[in-house]
Chain A
Amino acid sequence: AQRVTQPEKLLSVFKGAPVELKCNYSYSGSPELFWYVQYSRQRLQLLLRHISRESIKGFTADLNKGETSFHLKKPFAQEEDSAMYYCALWTGGFKTIFGAGTRLFVKA
C-alpha cells in the first residue's frame, strides 16, 4: 500500500535549535517526494521536492531509499518557521498522497 507516515503531530523546539521533521513512506517503486508547508492563515505551498535537491529557507531533505525516509531538517530553527508541514508522495499516477502533517512550533 502507498502510504506516508509523519509520526509526530507536534514538534516544539527553541529558536536556534536544530529541527528534524520525520517522514517515512511506503512505496515499492521509485518515489517522488515533496514537503509542503502551511503557515498560519495561508495556503499550502511547496517547500521543496527531493529531485531538485535545493535548500529552501534553510531546509533540506534527503531521500533515503534504504530507510524509505525523507526527513526535513534545518540546523537553526527560526520563529517564522512555525507552521504545519506535510510530507507528500507522488507515485507516477495522477495522485499525490499526503502525510498527516507535523505542526512545528518554534519558541523564542
Chain B
Amino acid sequence: EPEVTQTPSHQVTQMGQEVILRCVPISNHLYFYWYRQILGQKVEFLVSFYNNEISEKSEIFDDQFSVERPDGSNFTLKIRSTKLEDSAMYFCASSENNGFEQYFGPGTRLTVT
C-alpha cells in the first residue's frame, strides 16, 4: 500500500538556522498539507497546497515558512530562521481530493536548540 514518506525523521538545528523538511506524498494525490504538533499539544494545521500554490494557511504560517513542490514527487516545508518555539513534530499529509481522507507521513521531529 502506498505511503507518505518524510525525511529526516529527526532534525536538530540551532536557532536562526534554516531547515527544510521533506515529504513524498502518495503519487496520485493532488492535495498536500503540513501540520505541526508541539509536544503535548494538539495537531495544528499549517498550510495546504494544491495546483502548485498555497490554497490555505493558518496564522502560524508566517513569512518564516514556505512550501514548495520542486518536482513531481517532493513537497517541502522550509523554515527560514528557526526559533526555539518551532520545536515540534511536523507531519505531512496528502489526499486524493479535498475533504477526503488524508494520509499522513510518520513525521519529522524538529528540535531547535
- Residues of chain A at the chain B interface (Cβ within 8 Å): 32, 34, 36, 43-46, 49, 86, 90, 92-101
A-B contact pairs, 15 of them (CB 8 A): A32-B99, A44-B93, A45-B103, A46-B102, A49-B101, A86-B42, A90-B99, A95-B48, A95-B56, A95-B58, A98-B43, A98-B44, A98-B45, A100-B41, A101-B42
How far is B91's CA from A97's CA once the two chains are assembled, in angstroms?
14
Decide: B98 and A94 in contact? CB cutoff 8 A. Answer: yes
Residues of A close to B98: CB separation below 8 A: 94
- Of the candidates B41, B45, B105, B107, the one whose C-beta lies within 8 Å of that of A96 is B45
Nearest CB in chain A to that of B55: its residue: A94
Cα A96 to Cα B33 in complex, Å, equals 10
Distance between Cα atoms of A96 and B98 in the complex (Å): 10
| Interface residues in B95-113 (C-beta closer than 8 Å to A) | 98-99, 101-107
Q: Known contacts A45-B104, A49-B101; decide if A94 and B56 are in contact (CB<8 Å).
A: yes
